[in-house]
Amino acid sequence: MKKLTLTFIAIACFLKVFSQNIPSSKDDKKMEWWKEAKFGMFIHWGIYSVPAGVYKDKPVKGIGEWIMNTAKIPVKEYQSYAPQFNPDKYNPEAWVKMAKDAGMKYIIITSKHHDGFAMFDSKVTDWDIMDASPYKKDILKPLVEACKKAGIKIGFYYSQAQDWVHPGGAASGGSWDEAQKGSFDAYLDKISIPQVKEILSNYGEPDILWWDTPQNMTPERAAKFDAIVKQHPNLITNNRLGGGFDGDTETPEQFVPSTGFPGRNWEACMTINDTWGFKSTDKDWKSAKTLIRNLTDVVSKGGNFLLNVGPDAHGEIPEASITRLAEIGNWLKINKESVYGTTASPFPFLSWGRATRKQQKLYLHIFDNPADGKLKVPMLNKVTKAYLLSDSTKLLQTKRIGKNMEVMLPKQLPDTINTVVVLEFLGEPNVAPSPVSGKKITASSEQPNATAKNLLDGNRLTKWEAVKGQKDAVLEIDLNTVFDISTLIVDEPWHPWEDKKQDITLEYKQGNNWLPVLKVTTGGIGMIKNFTPVKARYFKLTIHNQNTQPTLLEWQLYGSE
């Protein structure tokens, strides 16, 4: 690839919109351990592990913990699974050791999921582990004790709105059984709110409370829960309570957002296969390579990575999960310095991998080994030392070539998944902005509070949206000068499970003609696409949305270093 010509700026720190380390109003002392931790374990476990994705001898599509809703299982029939839930092989000490060996610093477990089953001794219902199952033991207590003994932080997931068993609980898509009908407010007052008080008072002070699916949660209803949270000033909560309460963290699910969340603490939660709760038919396991790179990608953008395991009805975590967690742990034993306590990359984009920072050290995470063995780092700072993190005694040669610092790599990298090179440097990172930063962008249509300029601010919390009723829109950008562009990044506002797709065509202008670069269909969560470099000043995106008006959160263009 041809080297991208960029105008570098000599400023004390990198452009604000890409720093992702900006303190927010919630960014107080209670978040310090969380921002240091970077990596946690999610545990989805409950009655749904008994059917394990199969109902009436037929596999049920979708994620395992939603089987009651997906298959529309009547309440009484679903409750009949409880006598079969006897996790005789549950070993919380082994689970905590597994998490710790994997390099995880905190654990969040489902105290109650959408099926309403409490994994603790609840005094406001018999639909819990003590009364409805033969196990007759509180699941949460021994896990809390094991975590405290091992120095692992502990948190509880709690479904505050959806409950498919207790009358009045919310149900996505609507109820399907007369037994579910009742007053939602009465449900909140008699079941949900008392149970939140139980899990926040019966196990010492938990570190995290993880809300989910805020269906029907008005500001007034959510305020009742917020009043409880305020009694626990060190409790970290996420953004899923509803009613306009932001919580402390953003929670992108099953994907890594291309730009992170500037000004917000955020945590990408993800499964190792395709489901959260145990599903016997799901064998689509992500590789250790994918998971290690996802962890790196998240951390490089200033976030935390919450990786899920789904134990079966006996309390055993699938062997495939155990194996992958061990592989991640082995990588972190060597490379932990480049993850824990780091801040986001000062570079808006690197074609060969990712970067993290800790004071005067840059950690360069190499995903794709350069063919010529020269790692090009687009920064003007003086570098005092370069070496492999896995062997700091072997120094690497560096050479200034124009606006790049080139690092001479060994012929054979020690890790084909992610080799980390450390650069020690002076001053604040002096790097190039994105080619689109501060440039002029126009749209064929836009809404007053969702204008095209929002696409260039590096912030997923803002968006551009075409006028309602339109299915097609065009965006054009003037980069002011000619760039070699080889990467398109777009970010979208939907979730993977919503399957909202958009057809996108990228073109560049040559003379008076627009020439095609690529045409793709997104999955609704954004994407990164590489292509043969094109040299141009003007670029155009044409977007078609079959179901609603086109909308994007971010549009970025990059070239090689």
CATH of domain 30-338: 3.20.20.80
At 1, the pLDDT band (50, 70, 90 cuts) reads very low
| One-letter amino acid of 187 | Y
Least confident residue range of 11-20, 171-180, 285-294: 11-20
Task: Indicate the helix (H) or strand (E) that contains 420.
Answer: strand 419-425
Check residue 191 and report its DSSP letter. I
The answer on pLDDT for 259 being more than 90 is no
Q: What does the pLDDT read at residue 15? A: 34
Average pLDDT over residues 81-96: 98
At 263, the pLDDT band (50, 70, 90 cuts) reads confident
- pLDDT tens sequence across 306-342: 999 999 999 999 999 999 999 999 999 999 999 999 9
Q: What does the pLDDT read at residue 13? A: 33
Q: What does the pLDDT read at residue 5? A: 30
- pLDDT tens sequence across 337-378: 999 999 999 999 999 999 999 999 999 999 999 999 999 999
The answer on pLDDT for 17 being more than 50 is no
| 550-to-1, 24, 343 alpha-carbon distances in Å | 32, 30, 33
Question: In the chain, where are the structural domains located?
Answer: 30-338, 353-425, 440-558
Which top CATH class is 353-425? mainly beta
The answer on pLDDT for 255 being more than 90 is yes
Q: What does the pLDDT read at residue 316? A: 98
Q: What does the pLDDT read at residue 26? A: 47
At 2, the pLDDT band (50, 70, 90 cuts) reads very low
Give the C-alpha separation, 345 to 539, whole Å. 26
Look up the pTM and report it.
0.94
- Select from 25, 34, 24 the least CA-distant residue to 107: 34
Taking phi over 0 as left and psi of -120 to 50 as alpha, with beta for the rest, 77 belongs to alpha
At 7, the pLDDT band (50, 70, 90 cuts) reads very low
At 22, the pLDDT band (50, 70, 90 cuts) reads very low
- What CATH topology corresponds to 440-558? Jelly Rolls (2.60.120)
Q: What does the pLDDT read at residue 18? A: 37
> Are 258 and 552 spatial neighbours (Cβ–Cβ below 8 Å)?
no
The answer on pLDDT for 27 being more than 70 is no
- pLDDT tens sequence across 135-144: 999 999 999 9
Q: What does the pLDDT read at residue 4? A: 32
The answer on pLDDT for 20 being more than 50 is no
- pLDDT tens sequence across 95-134: 999 999 999 999 999 999 999 999 999 999 999 999 999 9
| 265-to-14, 177, 341, 476 alpha-carbon distances in Å | 19, 40, 14, 32
> Are 504 and 542 spatial neighbours (Cβ–Cβ below 8 Å)?
yes
